Amino acid sequence: MAYIIDVLTLTAILMIAVHGYMLIKGLGGMLHLGHAVFYGLGAYGAAIAGTRLLPAAGFPAMLLAGISLAALGGAVVAWPALRNRGRYFMIVTFAVQLIFVTLVINLPVTGGPDGILSVPGLAFGSWLSSSTGLNIGSVVISYPQVKLAVMVGFAALSFWFCYTLIQSPYGRLIRAVREDDVAVEAYGRDTMLIKASVLVIGAGLTGLAGALFASHFNYVGPTQFELDATVLFLVMLIVGGQYSLLGASVGAVLIMALLELLRILLDNVLGVPFDMTAHLRQVFFAVALIGVLAIRSTGLIAERLPKYVLPTRRAGEAGETIPSTVPGAHTPVPAQPHPATGSRMDQQSAPVLTCRGLRKSFGGVTAVADASLDLFDGRIVAIIGPNGAGKTSTFNILSGVEQSDSGTASIGGTSIIGRTAAEIARLGLARTFQDVRVWGRLSAIENILAARANQHGATALGWLAHPERSRRDEIENLDAAWRLLERFGLEQHANTPAGQLSYAQRKMLALARIDAFAPRVMLLDEPTSGVDPRRLGTFLEHIRSFAECENRAVCLVEHNMTVVRDLADWVVFMEEGRVIAAGTPADIIGNRDLMRVYLGHRELKVA
C-alpha cells in the first residue's frame, strides 16, 4: 500500500510539472529542453527556504519560494531564449539544462553535491506532522495518506488553473502566438511579452511541483534534475498529447504506470537476466516512446477547442436575416467605430496615413526604392504593379513587419518609422496577408476574438488581476464576434478550426478578423486573389463597406483590374520599388503605357 501511495504521490507531483510543460510547449509552442531546471529551481527554492531562510514560516513559505525562484528562472531564460522569435529557444534551454547540474554541484547555497538534507515535509501547525499524521476524532489518517491527498489536491488545483488559463482570452492569444506570431503582432500584441509571461507562469507552476517534491522527499540533490528528468517530462507530455491539458495529465499517469509496470514485468514476469533489468527498463521506455511518436506524433489526446454557442437572441436574428451560407454582405452590420475615427473626410482633409520616400534593400536587392502614399478616412486606394514592384514590401514597412532603410511614414501625425508591428497596430493600422495567415488551430470565432483590441483578459496581468472585467469584456466580444461572423457569412463555421476552412472562407475570415480589430487604416494584401469569381461581388461589398460604412482608410494591393476599377477611389502604380504614377482608376487603368508595363511584366513572367 505504501508503494502505491508513494507512486501516486509522485505521479500527482509530476503531473503538475507536466502541466507547466504543457503551458510552455503545448500552449505556447516553445521548443523547450530544460524543464528539469525549473523543477529543480522550485525544489531548491523550497529547500533553501525551508531549511535556511525561513524555516519558521513553514510549508506555504516553501511553496512560495519554490514558485518564485522557478518563475524568476523562467524570466531569466525568456530574455535570451526568445529573441529572434525563439529560433534558439530549444538550444538555449538545452544548454541551460546541461549547465544547471554542474552549477548546483558547485554552489555552497545548494549544498553542493550532497544537496540539501532534512527538508521539512508537510506541516500545518499542530494538527499535522510527519510523525503523527492527521487525527480527526477517532479517525487517524497516516502522514503518507494525507500527503497523497494534498498532492492530488494540488494537481487538481493545477489542472483547474491551467484549464481556466487555456479557456481565457489570454490562453487564446497564447495559442494564436503559437500558430503565427507575426499575425499576432500585426494585431497589436507584443508576442515576446506573451511568450515570456507564459514561460514564467509555466516555470512557476513547475516550480510548485519542484517545491512539493522537495517537501515530499525531504531531500533535494543534483542527480534528480539531470537531462533524464527533462526527457521524462517530455515523454509524459508528448505521449499524452502536448496540445491537450487532459493529455498532459493522462500522459503523466500513463508513463508512471508504464515505468512501474515495466519494473514488475522485468523483475517478476519476464525473468530477464538480473543485471539487465535497470538497462532494459530504459530500453523499453525509449522504444515505447519512438513507437508512440511513429504512430501518433500528436499524442494520445488531441487538442480540444472550446465550443461557442450562438446566443439564443442572436440565433433568432440570424435565422431571419441570413437565409443561406452566402455571405450576408447585403446586410452590413456596422462595426463599432474606431475611437480615432471622426466624421468622413473629403479628399481635401489631411491624410490619416502618409509616407514619403520609403526605401528597403535586402542584401543587394532593392525591394522598395521610393514609395510614397497618402491614405484618407473613408477612401480606398489600390496599389497595382507588376510582380516584384515592391507592393507587399511597402505594406511590410508600413505595418512594421520590416523596417525601412530610409523615408518617413506617419499615422495621424505620429511617426511609425522604427516602431514595431504591434506598436503600429495599436496606432490604428492593421493588415491582411497575401497568404492569409489565419491562426489555423484556432476556430473561426476564436480568430475573431483573438484579434479584438478591447480585451482586458488578453494579458496575464489583466486576466489574473481583474477576472470580472475580463469576463465582461469576453461577453461583449463574443457578441460582437457572432455579429461579425454573421455579417461575413461564417457563423455556421464558427467552431471549425480555421485551418480546415476552404481557401475562400479563410480569405473571408481574414476580412472579418481585420474588421474585428476595428483599425483606422486597413492594408489588404490581395484580398480577392484565388476567390471564385461568383463570390467576388460579396468580397467587394465587404471591402467597400469598410470605407463607406465604417469610414476606414483602406489600401489594397490588387492584380484584378475589375476589382480595382470597382473599388478604388485612387490608384497608385508601382514598378521596381518606385511609385511611378497615381490617379483615378480611369486615369491609371486607361493609360496604355502603364498597362503595357504591367502586362509586359506579366507576359514576360509567363513566357
Partner 1 sequence: MSLVPYLINGTAFGLSIALIALALALIWRTVGMIDFGLAAVYLITAYTALILKTQLEWPFLWCAAGALIVAPLASIGIYTAVYRHFIKRNSALFVLVLVALCLHIAVQHILAATMSAQKFFLIDDIIPGWEIGGTRLNAVQITKMILSLVALAGVAYFCHRTGRGRTILAVADNRTLAQGIGISTDATYRWTYGIAGLIVGAAVVPEIAENGVDPYIATTPVFLGMAAIIVGGLATFTSPVLAAVLLGICFHLAVWGFSSSWQEVVTYAIVIAVLLLRPQGLFGSFSPVRQRA
Partner 2 sequence: MLKHLNPIKAAVFSGLVFAIGSILTPPAQAQTTIPVGICQSTAQGPAKFATALWKGAELVLQSANASAGTDSIKLEPVPVDIGNNDPAQARLSFNKAFQVNKIQALICWGTNVMVQNGSLIDEAGVAAFTTSSGVNVVKSSKLTQQIEAVTTLQCAVAAKHVKERYPDVKTFGILYVNYEFGIEMRDQCEIEFGKVGIKLVAAEGHPNAPADLRAQTTKILEAKPDAIYLAPIGGGTVPLGIRAGRELGFKGLFITYTAGDTPDVYNLKLAENNFFFVSHDVPEGAPQSVHEATKSYGGYVGMGYDFAWIVTSLAQQLKQEGKEISGRNLITKLRELQTVKTPVNEYRFLPDGNTVRPLALFSVAGGGRKLEQSLTPSQLQ
Place of cell 502541466: 19
Residue from 5, 61, 90, 549 binding partner 1 (CB under 8 A): 90
Residue closer to partner 2 by CB (options 231, 549) is 231
Residue closer to partner 1 by CB (options 90, 246) is 90
Dig out the grid coordinates for 390 from the structure: 515592391
Among residues 532, 536, 512, 537, the alpha carbon closest in space to that of 522 is found at 512
Residue closer to partner 1 by CB (options 75, 98) is 98
Helices 467-487 and 312-321: crossing angle, nearest 10°? 10
Residues in the chain: 607
Residue closer to partner 2 by CB (options 232, 547) is 232
Cα→Cα distances 498→187, 324, 383, 447, 488, Å: 17, 20, 28, 8, 14
Residue 267 interacting entry, from partner 1, partner 2, none, C-beta within 5 to 8 Å by type: partner 2
> Which residues on neighbouring strands pair with residue 414, listed in sequence order?
411
Residue 290 interacting entry, from partner 1, partner 2, none, C-beta within 5 to 8 Å by type: partner 1
CB of 209: closest distance to partner 2 in angstroms?
13
- Letters for 270-299 (x = contact with partner 1 by CB under 8 A, - = none) are -----xx--xx-xx-xxx-xx--xx--x--
Place of cell 480585451: 455
CB under 8 A: which stretch of 60-68, 229-237, 505-513, 598-606 binds partner 1?
A: 229-237
Dig out the grid coordinates for 151 from the structure: 498532492
415 burial (CB, 10 Å; 0-12 / 13-18 / 19+) is exposed
Scan residues 482-521 and list those touching partner 1 (CB under 8 A).
none
Residue 604 interacting entry, from partner 1, partner 2, none, C-beta within 5 to 8 Å by type: none
Q: Which amino acid is at 519?
A: P
Whether residue 216 contacts residue 10, with contact meaning beta carbons closer than 8 Å, is answered with yes
Note whether 4 binds partner 1 by CB under 8 A.
no
Dig out the grid coordinates for 436 from the structure: 492569409
Residue from 87, 313, 356, 596 binding partner 1 (CB under 8 A): 87
Place of cell 475589375: 562
CB of 184: closest distance to partner 2 in angstroms?
40
CB of 305: closest distance to partner 1 in angstroms?
19
Dihedral (Cα; 268, 274, 275, 277), 10-degree rounding: -20
Rg (CA), the chain: 29
Note whether 106 binds partner 1 by CB under 8 A.
yes
Residue 25 interacting entry, from partner 1, partner 2, none, C-beta within 5 to 8 Å by type: partner 1
- Letters for 216-255 (x = contact with partner 2 by CB under 8 A, - = none) are -xxx-x-xx-x-x---------------------------
Rounded CA gap, 115 and 107, in Å?
A: 10
Note whether 25 binds partner 1 by CB under 8 A.
yes
Residue 98 interacting entry, from partner 1, partner 2, none, C-beta within 5 to 8 Å by type: partner 1
Residue from 29, 42, 45, 327 binding partner 1 (CB under 8 A): 29
Dig out the grid coordinates for 175 from the structure: 495559442
Residue closer to partner 1 by CB (options 53, 272) is 272
Scan residues 96-115 and list those touching partner 2 (CB under 8 A).
102, 105-106, 112-115
> Which residues on neighbouring strands pair with residue 443, listed in sequence order?
497
Rounded CA gap, 512 and 133, in Å?
A: 60
Residue 224 interacting entry, from partner 2, partner 1, none, C-beta within 5 to 8 Å by type: partner 2
Report angle CA 96, 98, 99 to the nearest 5 degrees.
Answer: 65
Rounded CA gap, 367 and 364, in Å?
A: 10
CB under 8 A: which stretch of 79-87, 183-191, 213-221, 531-539 binds partner 1?
A: 79-87
Dig out the grid coordinates for 271 from the structure: 525473468
> Which residues on neighbouring strands pair with residue 355, listed in sequence order?
373, 409
Note whether 133 binds partner 2 by CB under 8 A.
no
Report CA 220 to chain centroid distance, whole Å.
34
Dig out the grid coordinates for 468 from the structure: 470580472
Among residues 520, 546, 555, 528, the alpha carbon closest in space to that of 382 is found at 555
CB under 8 A: which stretch of 259-267, 330-338, 384-392, 438-446 binds partner 2?
A: 259-267
Alpha helices in 405-466 (DSSP H): 421-426, 444-451, 460-465
- Letters for 466-505 (x = contact with partner 2 by CB under 8 A, - = none) are ----------------------------------------
* Residues binding partner 2 (CB under 8 A): 1-4, 6-7, 10, 102, 105-106, 112-115, 117, 213, 217-219, 221, 223-224, 226, 228, 260, 263-264, 266-268, 271-279, 281-282
* Residues binding partner 1 (CB under 8 A): 25, 29, 31, 33, 80-81, 83-84, 87-88, 90-92, 94-96, 98-99, 102-103, 105-106, 231, 234-235, 238, 275-276, 279-280, 282-283, 285-287, 289-290, 293-294, 297
